[in-house]
Amino acid sequence: MISQSNGFATPHDWAGRYYHIDQILDASGPRTDPAFSAGDEVKDFLRNKAKILVIGAGGLGCEILANLALTGFKDIHVIDMDTIDISNLNRQFLFRQKDVGKPKAIVAAEFIMKRVPGVTVTPYFGKIQDKDEDYYMQFNLIICGLDSVEARRWINATLVNMVDGENPESLKPLIDGGTEGFKGQARVILPTITSCYECSLDMLNKQTAFPICTIANTPRLPEHCIEWASVLEWPRVHGEKKMDTDDPEHITWLYQTASKRAKEFNIEGVTWSLTQGVVKNIIPAIASTNAIIAASCCNEAFKIATSSAAYLNNYFMLIGTDGVYSYTFEHEKRADCPVCGGEAVDMSISSELPVEGLIDLLVEKQDIQIKKPSLSTANKQIYLQAPPQLEAATRPNLSKKVSELVPPGGEITVTASTLPFSLSLRITYT
């Protein structure tokens, strides 16, 4: 039995703490991997050699960090760029009111190390893009508990690019977890072997968009008033100043402006949290969903690290909207995936479509979703988003037809500053 002292573990608890884990690791069985080495060797790797990275210290990340520490991982790193908000406290259980305003990664690391002595959690308060490939190469596996599609695409592409066929250690398994209300998913990605995150981009829910005419003239919902404040009123009042959806002052301005708009049209329901949710496309988080998905992610991490059971191949879905239902399936690789597939994406467009129309398609198309894309061919710059000099030089092409610049069957290379990969489009015309 695990003894406690003022709610915290004491050093002599280690044997008791891992009693149930050791029952799994002490003997092989019908479900163990052929590579499983039962006994002290696998325990030593798990507790003294395995190094694991957790990306995100929010609702999922807090659960993941606690689960990993209690499972036996002792060398854990965590990255998060956010600070603690009071709205986090209802589900991100590693934080307290006194922590509001502090970096999530640092507070989470300190809490875990205090609660589970012997575990080292190394935090980094910043973006995943701040780190280079050498940093990610040190880990045995990586778990994502992110709420950002762009961040997931970045780390996915980075890990795929790191794989060197001559160095098996360069392949870093990626376990990705995500939740949306009562629904969630966990998946195992083996870069270049299984389907990657980019392969499944078309499975994401489309973001809700409100018609401009509705939000400008006939708002009926509190969301319409918030969209009006962010899409129309912010640029009118602030000009070129960019809105920062992570800045509480900007959210407060939007909330106050949307509230005045709602009052004019007798609309109720505009709140600060709803304002933040609309402009950041936040879906309310459910603590129980986070717990289930985090447990699934950590279960896969444990299986991969120890070979004590076959790991997921490769997708787990949880549906909790009507009862509780879950299922698994194998998501297949896309041959035309720009990250792991290698083949060009065939795109058929009208011969009358202008370049700016193609750019809109690339932003909206569910299986591409590239914000601010730059376009070029092997011998021509069609339109570049940056630097300003090249943007100005290529801006006249926006009104030109794509067919004037690219022959049938020609390929366009699409890049974006937010993504570490390029997409090749093979163009045909109708």
> Active-site residue numbers?
213
Would you say 83 and 99 are in contact if contact means Cβ atoms under 8 Å apart? no
Rg (Cα) of the chain, in Å, rounded? Answer: 24
Q: Which strand ranges, in their side-by-side order, compose the sheet holding 423-429?
A: 345-349, 423-429, 411-415, 374-376, 381-383
Cα(281)–Cα(368) distance, rounded to whole angstroms?
Answer: 19
CA angle 29, 31, 35 (to 5 degrees): 80
Would you say 201 and 367 are in contact if contact means Cβ atoms under 8 Å apart? yes
Phi, psi (degrees; rounded to nearest 5) at 62 = -60, -45
Phi, psi (degrees; rounded to nearest 5) at 76 = -120, 140
Q: Which of 47, 79, 74 is nearest to 143 (CA)?
A: 79
Distance of CA 384 to the CA centre of its chain: 26
